[in-house]
Structure 1
Amino acid sequence: MSKPKLIRITTVPLSLEKLLEGQLNYMQEHFEVTAIAADESRLRVFGKKNRLKVFPLEMTRQITPWADLNALVRLVYFLKKERPQIVHTHTPKAGIVGMLAAKITGVPHRLHTVAGLPLMEATGKKRWLLNKVEKLTYFCATKVYPNSQGLFDFIEKEGFTSTEKLKIIGQGSSNGIDTSHFNPDLFSRTQKTSLRHDLNIKEDDFVFVFVGRLVGDKGINELVEAFNNSKFKIQNSKLLLVGPQEPDLDPLQPSTLQEIDKNPNIISVGYQEDVRPYFALSDALVFPSYREGFPNVVMQAGAMGLPCIVSDINGCNEIIVEGENGLIIPSKNREELQKAMRLLADDRDIYTQLQKNARKMIIRRYQREEVWQALLEEYQTLLKEKGLGE
C-alpha cells in the first residue's frame, strides 16, 4: 500500500533547513513527503541532502500581488497533479499561497502552523491588509496550529478564526530541540578559549550573545543602546551578535549600525551555519524581540546551559520562567534590559542559580522527538477521521 502524500511549504528553504530541521526526514518514514519553497538551487540542495522530493515555487516575503498570483497558479496545477492528502504550510506568505491552492484543489487536510505574526508590529493600512490575509489563510485551512499559548490567545482575541480550528501541538514549538546536538559538553574548554581568542574576547569577559536576524523587530536597537549606555557599562563585558542584517526588510537605525561598527566590545560575526560554538563561549543570551512564535534560539541557548534575558512576549515567556532559568523584561524597554543584563553580570549567585536550571528545564519540556511524535499522531488522527489512514 502506498504512503499518503504530505506536502510541506515554507516561503524560503532556510525555514526547512533550520526551523524544521530533521522533521521532514522523520515524516518520510510514514508519508511520501514533498518540500516546497522559493530559491530553486538551495531547495534542490536541501532535497538532495535529505533525500526528499522538492518543488521550487518562487515566493517573496514582501507584499507582491502579481508574483503571489503566479505562485498560486503554479501551485494549483502542481496540487491537481499530485493529489496530496495533507498540505501543511509555515510562514505567512507560504500560508496564504499554500492554503488558497489547497482549498481550490480540494485537499482534504489543509494545515497551517503559526510561528510568529509580523502584523503584530504593523499599523494603519498595512495592518488592515495583513489582518485580511491572515483571516483568509485561516478560512482556507482546516486546522491552524499556533506554536505557543500566547499566539493561540492572540488569534482567538483578534477573531481570526474559530476556536475549534485552533490547536497547540504538544507543549508548543514547531520543532522542539535536539538536546544531544545543542549540548555544552560537546565543546571543550580549549575550544572555547581558542574561539574567544580568535574574537578578541578575554577569558574573564562576561559575554552576552544575541542569535538571530539583526533587525529592528528583534530589539537590536535597544540592545545596542543598552549595552553602550554610559551608566550601564560593565567592566570586562562583550556583546556578541550572531546573525545577518536585513536592510531591505527591517533596517537598523543608523546610530545602531555606527555603534556596532566602531565599538570594540560589540562583535558582529554575521550569519553562522553552526551557532553552537558561539553559545558555548558565551555566558548569557539576550533576546529582546518585539514578537515571536516559539523562538528556537531561546530553546537552543537554554539547552547549551545559558540563562536567558527575554522580552515578555508569547513564546519567550513560556520557555523562560522568571527567576528559574532566566529573566523576563518588558518589550522595547531599554532601562529594564540594562537592569537585567547588569544583574546577571554582577550577581554571581543569581547567575549560577539560573544557569543550573537552564538545560534541564529545556530537556524536560521540549525534546525534539516528542514534538515530532505529537505532530505525527495529529496527522494520523486526521487521516483516520476521513478514512484515509491505515
Structure 2
Amino acid sequence: MPKVVLSVNTSWNVVNFRSGLIKALRSRGYEVSVVAPKDDHSAKVTDLGCRYIAIEMDNAGMSPFRDLHLAWSYWRIIRQERPNVFIGFTIKPNIFGSVSAYLNGVPVINNISGLGTAFVRGGFLRKLVQSMYRCALYRSKWVFFQNDDDRVLFVDEGIVREEQTLLLPGSGVNLDHFSPAVDETPRLNGVVFILVARLLWDKGVGEFVEAARLVREKMPTARFQLLGFLDVENRTAVPRNRIEQWVDEGLVEFLGSTDDVRPFLQAADCVVLPSYREGTPRSLLEGGAMAKPLIATNVPGCKEVVDHAENGFLCRPRDAEDLASKMVEFAAMDYPSRISMGQKSRRKIETQFSETIVIEKYLSAIQQIIKAADS
C-alpha cells in the first residue's frame, strides 16, 4: 500500500481544511500519516482514518535551536515512516519537512497557500524567508500555488523553477457542506457584514472597523461582525483589548471562534475581507459557496474570487474609505439584486473552486510520482 505523509502547522488546519484530501487518499488505497503539533483538534485527526504523529513546532518563533530540533524531528519521523511522498503545507513544514524528506530520499509536494506576513511587510525577514524557501523547494517535485501572482513572484525571484509549479483554486470547498439556505427571507433590522479570518492587522481588520465607523454615520442600523481567533501567535495579531474597545464603542460584534462558520455566514448579508494579500481565502470561498455576496480588496488571492459588480465588489487595499463606499453601495441595493449577486457567487465557486477539482490535482501529482518511482 503506497504511503503519504502530510504535514501542517496545526491539527486544527488538518481537520478543517485537509480532511477532504485525506479521505480521498484513503478511498484510493493510500496509507496516510499526518504530522502536526498537538492542539484541541489532534484527537479528531485519527477520525479521518489516518495515523497522527505529534511534533513540536514554534510557529511564530525564529529560534535556530528550536528550528534545528524541528528539522531533526522531521528527519526522524520520515526515516521511520518511509513514505512514497511527503506533502507540506504552511511555512515550517514546507521548509524543514521538505529538507528532511530530501535527505531521506522521499519526493516532495509543497503547497504555498499564501505568502504571509514576511512577504507583506518586506525587509530582512522577507529576504530570510525567501532564502529558506529557495533552499527547501529547489528539489521539490511539485510546488502548488493558489494564485498566479504568487507563482510568478516565486519564479521571478528564483525560488522555484517554472516547470515545478502548478496552480490550485485554493484548498477547495465542499459544496455539499457549504450550501445556500433553502429559503431566505429579507432582513428587517439592518444589513449585516461579517469578516471571518484570523484577527490580524494584515487581514484588514483595522480597515474593516474604520469602514464600519464611516458606514454607521450614514446607515446606523448596519451591523459589523468579527469571527476568528484572538491572541494568535503572530506579530501582526490584533490585541484583545483593542477588540474589546471596538465592541464597547458599539462598532463591531465579536463572535469569537468556531469550528463551524456556516450558521454565522448564513446569518450575514455580505462576507467582507479587506486583506493585504492572500493565497485563496477560505472565508470568501465558503461565503460564496453559501451564496453570499462578497466584498474584498483588489489584491492577489481575493481578486480571483470576486468579480467586481457581479458577485460582489473589489476595493482598494488599506483604504477604509473605499471599503466603506462599497459597503454603502451594497447596502443600498434592493433585496432581489443582493440575492442575484449571491447566486453568482455560488455558481463561480461551483465551476472554479470545488474541492473535487483540488483533490484530483493532488491525486494526479501523487500518482505521477509513484508511477515514476516504479518505472
TM-score bin, normalised by smaller chain: over 0.9
Query: How much has 1:382 moved relative to structure 2?
Result: 2.2
Q: In percent, how many aligned pairs have the same letter?
A: 23
Confirm or deny that 1:68 pairs with 2:67: yes
Give the alignment partner of residue 357 of structure 2, picking from 370, 378, 384. Answer: 370
Query: Aligned partners of 1:259, 1:308: CA distance in 2, in Å?
Result: 27
**Aligned Cα root-mean-square deviation (Å):** 2.2
Q: How many residues align?
A: 370
Residues 4-52 of structure 1: CA distance to partner in whole angstroms, max 9, x if unpaired? 1100000111110112132211111231100000116642x02332221
**Structure 2 equivalent of residue 36 of structure 1:** 35
Give the alignment partner of residue 264 of structure 1, picking from 228, 239, 250. Answer: 250
1:1-390 residue pairs with structure 2 within 5 A? Answer: 3-29=1-27, 30-39=29-38, 42-43=41-42, 45-62=43-60, 63-107=62-106, 109-118=107-116, 119-169=118-168, 172-174=169-171, 176-185=172-181, 203-229=188-214, 232-246=217-231, 248-249=233-234, 250-252=236-238, 256-257=242-243, 259-348=245-334, 351-387=338-374
Query: Aligned partners of 2:157, 2:338: CA distance in 1, in Å?
Result: 38
Residues 70-127 of structure 1: CA distance to partner in whole angstroms, max 9, x if unpaired? 12112212212221110000000111111010011111x2111000112222332212
Query: How much has 1:337 moved relative to structure 2?
Result: 0.5
Query: How much has 1:385 moved relative to structure 2?
Result: 2.2
Residues 271-323 of structure 1: CA distance to partner in whole angstroms, max 9, x if unpaired? 01111011111100110011211111111000111110011122211111112
The answer for unaligned runs of 5 or more in structure 1 is: 194-201
Query: Aligned partners of 1:71, 1:209: CA distance in 2, in Å?
Result: 37
Residues 316-370 of structure 1: CA distance to partner in whole angstroms, max 9, x if unpaired? 1111111211111121111110111110001327534422312122112222123
Query: Aligned partners of 1:123, 1:372: CA distance in 2, in Å?
Result: 33
Query: Aligned partners of 2:359, 2:281: CA distance in 1, in Å?
Result: 17
Measured at CA, do residues 231 and 373 of structure 1 come closer, stay the same or move farther in structure 2, by a change above 3 Å? closer
Query: How much has 1:264 moved relative to structure 2?
Result: 2.8
Query: How much has 1:376 moved relative to structure 2?
Result: 0.8
The answer to whether the Cα contact below 8 Å between 2:215 and 2:324 also exists between their aligned partners in 1 is no
Q: Larger deviation: 216-225 or 226-235?
A: 226-235
Amino acid at match of 2:124: K
Counterpart secondary structure, 1:88: strand
The answer to whether the Cα contact below 8 Å between 2:230 and 2:239 also exists between their aligned partners in 1 is no
The answer to whether the Cα contact below 8 Å between 1:320 and 1:328 also exists between their aligned partners in 2 is yes
Query: How much has 1:231 moved relative to structure 2?
Result: 7.8
Measured at CA, do residues 34 and 267 of structure 1 come closer, stay the same or move farther in structure 2, by a change above 3 Å? same
Query: Aligned partners of 2:319, 2:114: CA distance in 1, in Å?
Result: 21
Query: Aligned partners of 2:89, 2:325: CA distance in 1, in Å?
Result: 36
Q: Larger deviation: 157-166 or 216-225?
A: 157-166
Residues 240-266 of structure 1: CA distance to partner in whole angstroms, max 9, x if unpaired? 111112365223278953542213351
The answer to whether the Cα contact below 8 Å between 2:175 and 2:354 also exists between their aligned partners in 1 is yes
Query: How much has 1:232 moved relative to structure 2?
Result: 4.8
Measured at CA, do residues 259 and 36 of structure 1 come closer, stay the same or move farther in structure 2, by a change above 3 Å? same
Amino acid at match of 1:222: E
Amino acid at match of 1:157: D
Counterpart secondary structure, 1:59: coil
The answer to whether the Cα contact below 8 Å between 1:227 and 1:233 also exists between their aligned partners in 2 is no
The answer to whether the Cα contact below 8 Å between 1:244 and 1:271 also exists between their aligned partners in 2 is yes
The answer to whether the Cα contact below 8 Å between 2:7 and 2:88 also exists between their aligned partners in 1 is yes
Q: Larger deviation: 379-388 or 29-38?
A: 379-388
Query: Aligned partners of 2:350, 2:228: CA distance in 1, in Å?
Result: 25
Amino acid at match of 1:234: M
Query: Aligned partners of 1:382, 1:52: CA distance in 2, in Å?
Result: 21
Counterpart secondary structure, 1:33: strand
Counterpart secondary structure, 1:229: helix
The answer for unaligned runs of 5 or more in structure 2 is: none
Amino acid at match of 1:358: S
Query: How much has 1:372 moved relative to structure 2?
Result: 1.0
